[in-house]
Structure 1
Amino acid sequence: MTAELTPDFTEQLTKNFDADPTARLLQNAVATTPIDKVAIDRRVVTSIDHSVSELLDDWSATNQEKSGRCWLFAGTNLLRAGAAKKLDVKDFEFSQNYLLFWDKFEKANFWLESIIETAGDDVDDRTVALLLDRSAEDGGQWNMFTALVEKHGLVPKTAMPETNSSSNTHLMNRDLSVVLRQAARDLRKRAADGASGEELGQAKADVLTTVHRLLSLHLGTPPDSFVWQWKDKDSGFHRKGTMTPQEFAAEYVTIPLEDYVCVVNDPRHPYGQTFTVAHLGNVVGARPVTYLNIEVDLMKKLAVEAISGGEPVWFGCDTSQMCDANLGIWDAKLFDYDAIYNVTSDLSKADRLLHHESLMTHAMLFTGVDLLDNAPRRWRVENSWGSEKGDKGFMTMNDNWFGEYVFEIAVRRDALPADLQAALEQEPTVLPAWDPMGALAR
């Protein structure tokens, strides 16, 4: 049955709108002002300040610029506090560009392996189409961060500083996508013509040679070694000598990354179970991206305990929802869109995941929490959007936003209850490549 829009129907809608003085007033406002400035609830804004009872950060916020490297920034921000303390410096940054280079190169190899694996499927197959859409993404996940550090180590920012393309990845990604999609066409054709695994492997190696050249031109060549020397906060000079990236990571990563696990809150699935997502990862041969699903109240408890113990917390969320970046605040009721549009929004967290309304879009770092009667009321967040937004680059999240839009945190395995530690040993359920929990933080 087809029900087309009739002139009578649309005419009546227009009459109804014109007869509503509130609608006309809002039309005047929205026609000349961004909707979020009209919809923002001033009562929420004025109820928030940036103070918290438990505060860890005494360093400057970082800036990912025009790139999708938030997950790398959040990861290195987690590590830099310990490194700065060991170096006796006020502030310190690991090179995010160094990790970006190796992530891009490893991702290209991982992606080409997936193309070869799915070469027998139609090019319009949903998984193949998704792979082709995601040929050169910046984003990542916690396990992808640790895989890079474990394999390639770390260097200080001075050993591999930012370039134009690391700070603005669009054009590099555009050109890398062309190289990889052309390679996908050629590899699929070779496979269809009966090429052996060895022949496909050599063809992939040829593509990776081009990828390495492209990345080196845009990002610089990652150092095999460098001379490390620095001045401490009292201007004392230190020279460690020549170090490799692996040696530098072993010396200045002060927390046991291998002991961290990623826990998520996904109400679509049973709690206490693990899952992964097909074709999700960056380093071939690394531990797979695995999630343990837990209730959100337990996730909050784990985050509070880590912060109270002196350790920031890496987390992933949907920062596109109910956020004012300039003010640096998140609240589940920050914008009253319902009053403007005369609707009732009642999608649950599970509904939003199921109906493509929400997914993890961004990774940041919890560096503080405000506790009242031992319960969190708001959270302090280190973002990677520079020092101009929020409280010199640090943001404030009301606890109601955490429950709705935070999806995952990285915690030490031994912080989990015994039954959940045991659950980590189970074989994870594999979700399809297009599942929203396979989204990459940018």
Structure 2
Amino acid sequence: MSKLNQPLDATELKELHDNLSQQPGNELLSNIITQNGINQAAQDPKAATRLDPVFSIDLDTGKVSNQKRSGRCWLFSLLNTLRHQFAKTYHVKDFEFSQKYLFFWDKIERANIYYDNILATAHKPANDREVEFYMSMPGEDGGQWAMAAGLVQKYGVMPASVYPETINSEDTSAYDAVMNRKLRKDGMQLRQLINTAADDQTITDTRKRMLKEVYQITAYSFGEPPMKFDLEYRDDDHNYHLDQGLTPQEFYTKYVNVDLDNYVVLSNSPDKEYNQVYTLPSQDNIVGGKKIEFLNLPMKDLKQAAIQTLQNGETLWFGNDVLQQMSRKQGYLDANLYHYSQLFNVDLSMSKADRLTYHEAEVSHAMTLTGVDLVNDQPTKWKVENSWGEKTGEKGYFTMSDDWMDAYVYEVVVKKDYLTKPQLAILDQPKIQLDPWDSLR
């Protein structure tokens, strides 16, 4: 066993210097990297050829949306899949749903369920790992597909023209800072009430007051969403349409009517056992709403279901680690885009399972699959609709190599129709609950 608490003395520091001096071309590499940056020095010039944006299946999806300085990708991606279907059905190519509308209600619902979690764990110390998890991110923007689907099921949707973006929805940093402070203080006070044996009525009244304050802050920041609106638009053939006095739920039922309960999240998390359904109740955002569940399968099964979805003319939501091996400007996602190990002559390779286990990987972003290039029935690259506006990639679209999908895609959402009978049977098995800090959070 190696000796612990060894200080770096002059001898060891000299060894570090001597080792660097003995590396072949060390001065040249230092010049190249310091003057050009790590990514520019490490980028593979052949990536442009591999990622030529031509696809054998390429769905026509129009202009991309832009989440700007907010963490609402999970909402944008779900609403992208819904607006693509709306556009196809009603011939309105660049129609857009209001992402801010679902975001508003997520803030209210998430505060409400946060109070439940705080009260349920009030007997635990403040430094308990679960309590720390809830306190660390009470007002965050990010979320899962099921959270977005649950909001749609409860609140419906509305056109972006009815409830458009504002300064605080396009840059949520100030609102998030206020809401995090608000919810942490609320959590502290609720814990104090429980631990001083306050009566149930006092706790209930305090919680109601707190939620009213959350609603007030959110309404002041984003504007209160309308309860009814008029749907008014011209289709691609310039025909005029008007439908007045719709609620968001009526609009969804009449014009969208997608059964979100017929969809399933397929995960590829090789740090866990395959052919199991996992749940993540710590991130559920609606009391009594849709539950977060993952059917964990090998990547080949995710790809097969995704290809079938695209072949049927439907786009799909997928969760990924977008900051890995990505060029924002060029819109490249390629597992071999940057050769870091070769550049530094240091082995940086890790398996997907190890990266998840040791926190090198995370599901950091959601985007939309809109195409795939099949060669001899095998995927070579995928077309991705991002929500970062038209100034990134190819007018907002990215090209993802198939090996990037293997390495950095963790979830795809597909209809149950595309599952095999054995896979459908797994959905009826007992579900395994994940810890709040699990890699799929």
Q: Shorter-normalised TM-score: what interval?
A: over 0.9
Deviation at 1:254, TM superposition (A): 4.6
1:380 counterpart (378, 383, 386):
383
Residue deviations 1:364-402, cap 9 Å, x none? 000000000111000000000100111110000000011
In structure 2, do the counterparts of structure 1 residues 247 and 398 end up closer, same or farther at CA, with 3 Å as the change threshold? same
Alignment match, 2:125: 122
Q: Give the conservation status (yes or no) of the 8 Å contact 2:59–2:370.
A: yes
Matched AA of 1:100: F
1:355 counterpart (339, 355, 358):
358
Q: Give the conservation status (yes or no) of the 8 Å contact 2:264–2:413.
A: yes
Matched AA of 1:22: G
Determine if the alignment matches structure 1 residue 251 to structure 2 residue 220: no
Q: RMSD over aligned Cα, in angstroms? A: 1.2
2:417 counterpart (414, 417, 436):
414
Determine if the alignment matches structure 1 residue 235 to structure 2 residue 276: no
Alignment match, 1:35: 38
SS at match of 1:42: coil
Q: Give the conservation status (yes or no) of the 8 Å contact 1:83–1:254.
A: no
Instruction: Determine the C-alpha separation between the residues in 2 that align with 1:368 and 1:256.
Output: 23
What pairs with 1:68-83 in structure 2 (closer than 5 Å)? Answer: 68-83=71-86
Alignment match, 1:221: 224
Matched AA of 2:283: L
Determine if the alignment matches structure 1 residue 95 to structure 2 residue 98: yes
Residue deviations 1:229-253, cap 9 Å, x none? 1112222211111100001111222
Alignment match, 2:20: 17
Deviation at 1:256, TM superposition (A): 2.2
Structure 1, unpaired ranges of 5+? none
Percentage identity across paired residues of the two chains: 37
Determine if the alignment matches structure 1 residue 212 to structure 2 residue 190: no
SS at match of 2:66: coil
Instruction: Determine the C-alpha separation between the residues in 2 that align with 1:346 and 1:217.
Output: 48
1:182 counterpart (185, 206, 209):
185
Q: Give the conservation status (yes or no) of the 8 Å contact 1:313–1:366.
A: yes
SS at match of 2:25: helix
Instruction: Determine the C-alpha separation between the residues in 2 that align with 1:45 and 1:8.
Output: 47
Determine if the alignment matches structure 1 residue 298 to structure 2 residue 307: no
Matched AA of 1:51: V
Q: Give the conservation status (yes or no) of the 8 Å contact 1:17–1:24.
A: no
Alignment match, 1:48: 51
SS at match of 1:279: helix
Deviation at 1:48, TM superposition (A): 2.0
How many residues are treated as equivalent by the alignment?
Answer: 438
2:160 counterpart (157, 161, 169):
157
Greater alpha carbon shift after TM alignment, 326-335 vs 79-88: 79-88
Determine if the alignment matches structure 1 residue 337 to structure 2 residue 313: no
In structure 2, do the counterparts of structure 1 residues 198 and 376 end up closer, same or farther at CA, with 3 Å as the change threshold? farther
Instruction: Determine the C-alpha separation between the residues in 2 that align with 1:200 and 1:263.
Output: 40
Instruction: Determine the C-alpha separation between the residues in 2 that align with 1:263 and 1:198.
Output: 43
Residue deviations 1:339-363, cap 9 Å, x none? 1221112310000000000010000
Alignment match, 2:315: 312
Residue deviations 1:309-332, cap 9 Å, x none? 111111000111111111101111
Matched AA of 2:329: N
Deviation at 1:27, TM superposition (A): 1.4
TM-score (norm. length: structure 1): 0.97
Deviation at 1:419, TM superposition (A): 1.5
Deviation at 1:209, TM superposition (A): 0.6
Q: Give the conservation status (yes or no) of the 8 Å contact 2:281–2:291.
A: no
Instruction: Determine the C-alpha separation between the residues in 1 that align with 2:364 and 2:406.
Output: 16
Q: Give the conservation status (yes or no) of the 8 Å contact 2:51–2:400.
A: no
Alignment match, 2:146: 143
